[in-house]
Amino acid sequence: MTTTMNPPPTANTAPLIETHWLLEGCLPNQTGISRIAMHQFPFCIGRDAACDLQIASRSVSKRHAKILHNPAAVIVQDLSSTNGTFVNGGRISVPTPVGVNDLIQFADIEMRLAREVSQAAEFTCVAQQPEQSWLISRLNEVLNEGRMKVYFQPIVTGPDREIFGYEALVRTDVSGLESPLELFRAATRLGLSTRLSQNCRSEAVRAIEEAGVPGALFLNTEPNEVLGEELIRSMKDLRDLTNNRQLVLEIHEEAMQETKTLSKFAAALRDLGIQLAFDDFGAGQSRLLELAQILPDYLKFDRSLVKDLGTPGALHENLVRTLHETANSLGIKTLAEGLETAESIQACDTIGFDFHQGFAFGRPQPFRIS
């Protein structure tokens, strides 16, 4: 960033403080973070060369948005763009005030509003936040720079412990996003959780096919993902990449929509030969009505229901048995998640679970190509 420097103050003058507003983010055809100082307002953003910030992306309109500044606030205004302007993940339709560290998206280009304060007497500029903490740049590393890794955890059959398939789980070593929970929380804040979810599934299919490992592949959705045509199309594309591998799409109960929509979605999956699993059953409100009406292929019991089975304090064992028997009577296979102890495994065998999953049968790890 270029900053105009003023001469040092005399003994009778106070140091001059200057504030500079910047946009920080990852621009097309550039590596790393770009930092654009806004020296004048209004500051126009768009694809046109006449804009103050020209973004070479077809998703960005010629005159996409402008940023205004007055003594009270910095304001973002969309200029009737085709693909929208977003502040902290929400599309805006009226001039919207923004502050330091707010996330601004111009179509699919994500940026962050930053401010630098310079004190002319010291000829220095102090950044509000260090580069390693930039949410946009870190998520860009995951989505666009190959820092996403897919790990696979085995799923075994209950009676004989044979590997039936694998659940694909995302991991990254990007600082601050190592936890999948934090990774998806960051993506949700930027409005990129669906894209991240799609990338995870695509990378999982690529990795398991490249490794040539047999078995069913269980793929996750994320709670904000719409169970509609876009997801169906992406699953069809993945199915076409596999060599007759059984794909299973897991739906968390938080993502379950009204029954009619869910039923239509399940039917579209079955038309593609893709199976459906209800994930984390029992972690929240158990959706028994949807279970009976949708009839998923698998019901994955949350670890909170099964981890203490077989111990003296497991007063809910009869409840778990009843839920398992109800699912089996509907033709639904049951899977116990999070199994780690011999006691819980024995209890699940006694109840009759069809499949087991947990550290006792293998930790998530990447496939190694020989």
Beta bridge partners of 119: 17, 124
**Mean pLDDT in residue range 288-315:** 86
Q: Locate 106 and state its tokens.
A: 């111009």
Architecture of domain 17-129: Sandwich (2.60)
Cα dihedral 44, 47, 48, 54 sign: positive
- The separation between CA 88 and the C-alpha centre of its own chain, rounded to angstroms, equals 15
Topology at the third CATH level for domain 138-361? TIM Barrel (3.20.20)
Q: Locate 170 and state its tokens.
A: 């995302």
pLDDT of 125 > 50? The answer is no
**Mean pLDDT in residue range 117-137:** 48
Q: Is the Cβ–Cβ distance between 226 and 193 less than 8 Å?
A: no
Residue in the structure block whose two tokens are 């398939």: 165
Tell me 365's DSSP state. B
- Residue 6: pLDDT band by 50, 70, 90 thresholds? very low
- Residue 77: pLDDT band by 50, 70, 90 thresholds? very high
pLDDT value at position 257? 67
Q: Locate 116 and state its tokens.
A: 């630098």
Comparing 26-35, 59-68, 168-177, 228-237, the range with the smallest average pLDDT is: 26-35
Q: Is the Cβ–Cβ distance between 307 and 288 less than 8 Å?
A: no
Q: What is the DSSP track for 240-254? A: HHSSSPPEEEEEEGG
**Mean pLDDT in residue range 298-327:** 89
pLDDT value at position 346? 94
What's this model's pTM, rounded to 2 decimal places? 0.70
Strands 109-119, 103-106: pairing is: antiparallel
Angle between helices 193-211 and 180-189 (to 10 degrees): 140
- Residue 369: pLDDT band by 50, 70, 90 thresholds? low
**Mean pLDDT in residue range 83-101:** 92
Please report which helix (H) or strand (E) contains residue 147, including its range. none
Q: Locate 39 and state its tokens.
A: 């020296």
pLDDT value at position 7? 44
Q: Is the Cβ–Cβ distance between 74 and 98 less than 8 Å?
A: yes
pLDDT value at position 90? 85
pLDDT of 287 > 70? The answer is no
Identical fold at 17-129 and 138-361? no
**129 or 138, higher pLDDT:** 138
pLDDT value at position 32? 65
- Residue 286: pLDDT band by 50, 70, 90 thresholds? low
User: Where do the structural domains in the chain lie, given as residue ranges?
Assistant: 17-129, 138-361
Note the pLDDT tens digit of each residue in 234-284.
999 999 999 889 999 999 876 776 788 899 999 999 999 999 999 988 765
Q: What are phi and psi of 347, to 5 degrees?
A: -65, -40
